[in-house]
Chain A
Amino acid sequence: SQTIHQWPATLVQPVGSPLSLECTVEGTSNPNLYWYRQAAGRGLQLLFYSVGIGQISSEVPQNLSASRPQDRQFILSSKKLLLSDSGFYLCAWSVHNLDQPQHFGDGTRLSIL
């Protein structure tokens, strides 16, 4: 069966520091991968998606970037964090069959001080 792992679970970082969040999927190959942010009191917002290795698309302009160095690995990064980057970050995967749903990881709660 397929599983998705995200780490770390929680992270407290000072403003201006770099960021690297990692997501890996097991039990499937060539998945679609997605990064979402869930801000307090707001719905999940799609940040990035990837349909293959090295292919990244951004949905909203922001201080973050994403990379997919391996088939089942998706990384969310920032060179300098802002206070507004605080939130709950969720990674998700899906197969390329659009009749199947996305499945989410447990998320990373990021607090910027």
Chain B
Amino acid sequence: EDKVVQSPLSLVVHEGDTVTLNCSYEVTNFRSLLWYKQEKKAPTFLFMLTSSGIEKKSGRLSSILDKKELFSILNITATQTGDSAVYLCAVDSPIIQGAQKLVFGQGTRLTINP
């Protein structure tokens, strides 16, 4: 059975700290790994990673994938209260040509205190 595990499940830090969120996976077929941010309703897309060792960056957020060790990390530097959210990791394990099957982890609830 395909599985995605995120750690920690919950994290509370102070504004300005740097955080690292972890995601490990075991899937039959791997196409890509995605990170989403979920504040209240719709998860919003952050990164899609397909190749090992290539860091993707967007402002204070960055992510990298290790396909040999089957994990990814999401880093957030100089955290702000607006970074408070649930961060979801998902692996695309293909179903059929042209469709994605996203297997999600439980999410990491990040709380940034001022």
Chain A interface residues toward B at CB < 8 A: 32, 34, 41-46, 49, 51, 57, 59, 90, 94, 96, 98-107
B41 contacts A by Cβ under 8 Å: yes
Stretch in contact with the other chain, from B60-68, B72-80, B94-102: B94-102
For A90, what are the chain B residues with a Cβ–Cβ distance below 8 Å? 42-43
Residue from B44, B48, B50, B101 in contact with A49 in the complex, judged by beta carbons closer than 8 Å: B101
CB pair A44–B104 under 8 Å, yes or no, is yes
B21 contacts A by Cβ under 8 Å: no
Residue from A49, A59, A104 in contact with B43 in the complex, judged by beta carbons closer than 8 Å: A104
Residue from B36, B43, B98, B104 in contact with A98 in the complex, judged by beta carbons closer than 8 Å: B98
CB pair A49–B92 under 8 Å, yes or no, is no
* Cα-based distance from A103 to B107 in the complex (angstroms): 17
* Cα-based distance from A105 to B94 in the complex (angstroms): 22
For A102, what are the chain B residues with a Cβ–Cβ distance below 8 Å? 34, 45, 100, 102
For A106, what are the chain B residues with a Cβ–Cβ distance below 8 Å? 41-42
For B50, what are the chain A residues with a Cβ–Cβ distance below 8 Å? 99
For A104, what are the chain B residues with a Cβ–Cβ distance below 8 Å? 36, 42-44
* Cα-based distance from A5 to B102 in the complex (angstroms): 20
Most buried by A among B32, B98, B100: B100
* Cα-based distance from A107 to B43 in the complex (angstroms): 10
Residues 80-105 of chain B, each 1 if its beta carbon lies under 8 Å from chain A, else 0 = 00000000101010111011111111
CB pair B98–A46 under 8 Å, yes or no, is no
CB pair B45–A45 under 8 Å, yes or no, is no
CB pair A32–B98 under 8 Å, yes or no, is yes
For B101, what are the chain A residues with a Cβ–Cβ distance below 8 Å? 46, 49, 59
B11 contacts A by Cβ under 8 Å: no
Provide a sorted-by-A list of 25 A–B residue pairs whose CB atoms are within 8 angstroms.
A32-B98, A42-B106, A43-B4, A43-B106, A43-B107, A44-B43, A44-B88, A44-B90, A46-B101, A46-B102, A51-B99, A57-B96, A90-B42, A98-B31, A98-B100, A99-B32, A99-B50, A102-B34, A102-B45, A102-B100, A104-B36, A104-B42, A104-B44, A106-B41, A107-B42
